[in-house]
Amino acid sequence: MSTTAQLSQEVAAAGDDAARQIAAAESLEGLEQLRIAYLGKDGVLTRFMKQLGGLSKEEKPAFGQVVNAAKNAAQAALDARKAELASSGKVAIA
């Protein structure tokens, strides 16, 4: 298996893990911790983006798209869960 294919599988697994954890979050504080863990400066998905520098010119675009898709999906899930929590009356939107 190529390095890019393996990394892409790892990104997909991290994205799936993020989605599961986000869906299970019970508070805004929990969501913020997940945002930092996955999308923050040293987050799981951010670290994958930093690996782009080690890939060949040909591999970068495809892998970049995979990572960006995972990051965008995680952000959308965070936003949706935040709205769900707010509409349930459990929390106030900051």
Report the pLDDT averaged over residues 44-69: 94
- Residue 4 has a pLDDT of 86
pLDDT at 73 over 60: yes
- Residue 44 has a pLDDT of 96
pLDDT at 2 over 80: no
**Please, which pLDDT band fits residue 59 given cuts at 50, 70 and 90?**
very high
Residue 19 CA to residue 21 CA, distance in Å, equals: 6
